[in-house]
Amino acid sequence: MTEITKLQPACSQCNLQELCLPIGLSETELSLVDSLVDERRKIARGEAIFRSGDRFTAIYAVKLGFFKTEVLSEDGRHQVTSFYMPGEVLGMDGISAETHHCDAIALEDSEVCLIPFHELETISVKVPTMQRHLHRVMSREIVRDQGMMMMLGAMRAEERVIAFLLNLSQRYAARGYASTDFNLRMTREEIGSYLGLKLETVSRTFSHLQEEGVLQVEKKRIRLVDTVRLKKMLSQDRL
Amino acid sequence: MTEITKLQPACSQCNLQELCLPIGLSETELSLVDSLVDERRKIARGEAIFRSGDRFTAIYAVKLGFFKTEVLSEDGRHQVTSFYMPGEVLGMDGISAETHHCDAIALEDSEVCLIPFHELETISVKVPTMQRHLHRVMSREIVRDQGMMMMLGAMRAEERVIAFLLNLSQRYAARGYASTDFNLRMTREEIGSYLGLKLETVSRTFSHLQEEGVLQVEKKRIRLVDTVRLKKMLSQDRL
DNA sequence: ATGCCGAATTGATCAAGGTCAACAACAAGG
DNA sequence: CCTTGTTGTTGACCTTGATCAATTCGGCAT
């Protein structure tokens, strides 16, 4: 199911460029990057880019589609740790031990650009802008995880759901997609796992927010009706 | 309160070397590192190395003492996101936006080595081993955070407390300290914040584990009596 | 069509952990 | 010495979200 495509017009042509790459690369630097990212891979819905324990060789930029990452502990427990949309980079968990620590699974038919990591490190040496960019991307992941810990540790169910939706919305906005009207790519169960809640709680919270008139839910279709009030509900709630 | 010490015998002499630095550096490489890390800073208990919003200039290796990092959201909520002991590196949250996103506070009188980040990036270009090491350290932080999310999202109170204690124990062991008999540097409230629990719950759980006979608690003094059973309680609990 | 399966919704009940409160131990400072 | 503040322990009670269960809806294969 995993088809490999070479000879794509690479990064220099890609409309996600400003998300994946540092701004202000020279022509020569861009062509270096083009030679680095020479492979694109299609991942069918439900398939994994990599699984926990797989040898780490590359990081992946989402070109198209949607992914979740999931960690599993010794005793069958598992938890969704992130969702990734186009322009986002995943797989950096593998660097530390040359082995991935989570599964990365496509939530719909997707495409990723494969960035061989050791080559990336090599290029980083020649192109300092690239190195700094890499560090920023990794650091951003750390900051995001901290926010996530904050959410899991300090927020109640309703707040978590709101924070989740607002975060999605903001990321869609950043990509130029509709930010108040979108389709969820994941199930209630996956949302619940991500938020540390049960799927029933997620469902109930959606219903409740709809009754409140701040949200419209119809299956996977979400419409944020009153983002201002949603934001208020986030910050006021647990005063 | 924050006293600065120059002219210390630097990394090449430090007994934490193998925790902070990549193994197998040549003499010349080591001397490069020595020139990089030229400042040590004493931080008194309760003082911050940096605070949220501070401009990011360096990362810090704990030389001695104990730290917590804490994120605070717009609405006065705050949460402990990590504890750091000697040989561990903190501050990498600041890289992404050149600004720190959390407070780093000493839990006891401590000392850190200051590693100017841009200089570190410069040296990384010349010493690939150093670059790879940096990437690993950052990635390790990402993996650790994922584990934390797992804990916050999927474990019950007792499991979280056990996981916390076993993790401390294992880190002490790695440093050659007593791993089954140690003093907690943080309050019950800080533990609770870290684990997404209230301090009363932490206290009750300690008491309960003591009744079970797997643990001895006397104020801050912890003695792990039966680590084997503790590990079992972790994995079996929520079967 | 029909039947089946996965996803979602909703209700009833229950338990884990939060909240509130009283109190003990201990350190710091007058 | 007593006072005051911080930290920790324990109890009684309550709330949030989990659990269990019934039902619906839509897609897909036969």
Contact A110, A67 (CB under 8 A): yes
pLDDT at A6: 54
pLDDT bin (cut points 50, 70, 90) of residue A3 is: low
Indicate yes or no: CB of B93 within 8 angstroms of CB of A121.
no
pLDDT at B13: 84
- Average model confidence (pLDDT) across chain A: 91
Indicate yes or no: CB of A96 within 8 angstroms of CB of B236.
no
Q: Which nucleotide is nearest to B186 (CA to C1')?
A: D7
Mean pLDDT across B150-173: 96
Q: Which of A94, A139, A154 sits opposite B92 (nearest CB)?
A: A139
Mean pLDDT across B9-14: 78
Indicate yes or no: CB of B153 within 8 angstroms of CB of A150.
no
pLDDT bin (cut points 50, 70, 90) of residue A9 is: low
pLDDT bin (cut points 50, 70, 90) of residue B239 is: very low
Q: Please tell me whether any atom of strand C lies within 7 Å of the Cβ of A189.
A: yes
Separation between Cα atoms, residue A202 and residue A193, nearest integer Å? 10
Q: Please tell me whether any atom of strand C lies within 7 Å of the Cβ of A200.
A: yes
Task: Quick: pLDDT tens for A103-138.
Answer: 999 999 999 999 999 999 999 998 888 999 999 999
Burial level of A5, CB count in 10 A (0-12/13-18/19+)?
exposed
Strand C nucleotides, any atom under 7 Å from protein beta carbons: they are: 7-12, 16-21, 26
Contact B30, B13 (CB under 8 A): no
Packing angle of the helix pair A199-211, A157-174 (nearest 10 deg): 80
pLDDT at A72 over 80: yes
Chain B, 207-226: which CBs lie within 7 Å of strand C? 219
pLDDT at A238: 47
Q: Which nucleotide is nearest to A199 (CA to C1')?
A: C8
Task: Quick: pLDDT tens for A143-170.
Answer: 999 999 999 999 999 999 999 999 999 9
pLDDT at A237 over 60: no
Separation between Cα atoms, residue A163 and residue A195, nearest integer Å? 10
pLDDT at B227: 95
Strand D nucleotides, any atom under 7 Å from protein beta carbons: they are: 7-12, 16-21
Q: Across the A/B interface, how many CB contacts are shorter than 8 Å?
A: 154
pLDDT bin (cut points 50, 70, 90) of residue B187 is: very high
Q: Which of A71, A95, A134 sits opposite B150 (nearest CB)?
A: A71
Q: Which of B101, B136, B235 sits opposite A143 (nearest CB)?
A: B101
Contact B161, B233 (CB under 8 A): no
CA distance B229 to chain A (A): 15
Chain A residue closest to B141 (CA)?
A: A142
Separation between Cα atoms, residue B106 and residue B116, nearest integer Å? 20
Indicate yes or no: CB of B71 within 8 angstroms of CB of A146.
yes
User: Which residues, including other chains, have CB under 8 Å from residue B224's CB and lie 6 or more apart?
Assistant: B165, B166, B169, B179, B180, B181, B214, B215, B230
pLDDT at A239 over 50: no
Task: Quick: pLDDT tens for B86-105.
Answer: 999 999 999 999 999 999 99
Task: Quick: pLDDT tens for A25-43.
Answer: 888 888 888 888 878 999 9
pLDDT bin (cut points 50, 70, 90) of residue B237 is: low
Q: Count CB neighbours of A86 within 10 A.
A: 20
CA distance B139 to chain A (A): 5
Indicate yes or no: CB of B142 within 8 angstroms of CB of A145.
yes
Q: Which of A94, A139, A154 sits opposite B77 (nearest CB)?
A: A154
Task: Quick: pLDDT tens for A155-208.
Answer: 999 999 999 999 999 999 999 999 999 999 999 999 999 999 999 999 999 999
- Average model confidence (pLDDT) across chain B: 91
pTM for this one?
0.92
Q: How big is chain B by its Cα radius of gyration, in Å?
A: 19
Contact B86, B68 (CB under 8 A): no
Based on DSSP, count helices (H) and strands (E) in chain B, helices before strands.
8, 12
Say how far A190 CA is from C21 C1', in Å.
40
CA distance B233 to chain A (A): 11
pLDDT at A2: 53
